Amino acid sequence: MDCLIISGMSGAGKSVAVDVLEDIGYYCIDNMPVRLIPQFAELFSTSAEKKNKVAFVVDVRGGAEHSFLFSVVDELRRAGNTCRILFLDCSDEVLINRQKASRRRHPLDVDGRGLEAALRDERAQMEQMRRRADYVIDTTALSASGLRTHLQNMFGDGEGRHRMVISVCTFGYKYGIPHEADLVFDVRFLDNPYYVTELRPKTGLDDDVYNYVFRDPNANTFVGQLMTMLEFLIPLYLREGKTSLVIGIGCTGGRHRSVSVGRRIHQELLAAGHNVNLRHRDADKG
């Protein structure tokens, strides 16, 4: 039996994960009490209608019985089953925005303590689970469709299984480096469209800004050198079992140079056959 424990922060994408896993053949149970997992696993393995792929969602709603859960995972493995833990994480800033958009109360936001305090408590309670997880996916820079593709590649049976999901995230240094970034590159050495009056209100999503950035031969050289390095690194990351790679591209404000270069790197990675998505974190900021 293939048993998957789905856990993570509230708002990090567990509901999307359940939908995807059900689509690819997992029998999923949400908000599963940890103490009941052994009985359900035995039931699934011995019933006439066997379930070969089962996923249990275990998170802060069920309490922090991590030691018991880990002993269950070890026991299932000793019995010859595949049992893995998937942990979905996300930056607090994005979690807060998602929580507000959902208009649902955080499970630890009680007695008016506030969302930020609830998130701090949740992180503390879930840290042990995160450390023990076989897979950790940071969804900060992933759309719902990006997460869907990522999970299909990781757990599906198709040709794309086990492909790395690469996220290109452009940003402005004035707003801070994305905490989820694995690799960070500074493109502030390029000519800045900000100082061109007609280009200042635009972003790298506009072709005239993009063309301005890439009229500088250093921009093309940089992208070429970066692609060479990435094509060297990606197979090595895959060999070590890495399933996601976040590449941060930064300039001062995150609107012109980083967005233009991010667009180009995204295009190059797609052309090379990689599974890649693109996010412009600060392009809409003034």
Q: Indicate the domain borders of the chain.
A: 2-155, 165-280
pLDDT, tens only, 132-175: 888 888 888 788 888 888 888 788 765 444 467 788 999 999 99
User: Higher pLDDT residue, 135 or 214?
Assistant: 214
Domain 2-155: CATH class, spelled out: alpha beta
Give the C-alpha separation, 178 to 94, whole Å: 11
Half-sphere exposure of 177 (CA within 13 A, CB side): 12
Task: Give 111-135 pLDDT, tens digit per residue.
Answer: 777 888 889 888 998 898 898 888 8
The span from the CA of 88 to the CA of 210, in Å, is 34
Nearest Cα to 98, choosing from 114, 113, 74, 115?
115
Beta partners for 247?
Answer: 168, 183
